[in-house]
Amino acid sequence: MNLKTFHIFFVTVSTLMSFGFGGWCWRYAEVNQSTGFRVLAAASFVVGVALIFYGFWFWKKIRAWQDNSNGPGAAAMIGMALLVWFLGQPAAEACTTCYGEAEGPLIDAARAGVFLLFGLVGVVQIAFITFFVYLRRRAIDAANREFPEP
């Protein structure tokens, strides 16, 4: 799998996970009347829509990559991601027998762990974005700089 195919796959999975997390937050907010989870759901939906726009922008930018025969096409990767998502979703929903009681310190700790991991992933993504913006600025500065003739 080349880097472009992996990127399309990663953006697709990230979009699906963003909408899935938003749906979970919204459902939890409706049951428990929690404003904080409604805000998380709205933010997750906004990120999902932004990822859709980014995915189409990236797809348009690299249209010529389909001539590459090093691996499956983007349509196959997206199809596999959707298949895994839709077939695996019911198995991922735990019932109260497996999950335990719906409230309590164990559940609160699990939620705190999930939010900590989301925070860490967000910090890493912001670091990547900052690094690539820094590299782009350096490249633009280097391209605009005039070097003296030797």
Q: Higher-confidence residue: 118 or 67?
A: 118
- Mean predicted lDDT score pLDDT of the chain: 78
| Residue 122 reports pLDDT greater than 80 | yes
Tell me which range, 75-84, 104-113, 120-129, 141-150, is most confidently predicted by mean pLDDT: 120-129
| Residue 111 reports pLDDT greater than 70 | yes
Give percent above pLDDT 70 in the chain.
Answer: 73
pTM, whole model, 2 decimals? 0.45
Tokens encoding 34? 């929690």
73 and 66 Cβ atoms separated by less than 8 Å: yes
pLDDT band at 75 (very low <50, low <70, confident <90, very high): low
Q: What is the mean pLDDT of residues 87-104?
A: 61
**CA–CA dist 21, 37 (Å, integer):** 10
**CA–CA dist 113, 105 (Å, integer):** 12
Greatest pairwise CA separation for the chain in angstroms: 77
Map out the domains of the chain as residue ranges: 1-93, 100-145
CB < 8 Å & 24+ apart, contacts of 62-67: 62/4, 65/2, 65/4, 65/5
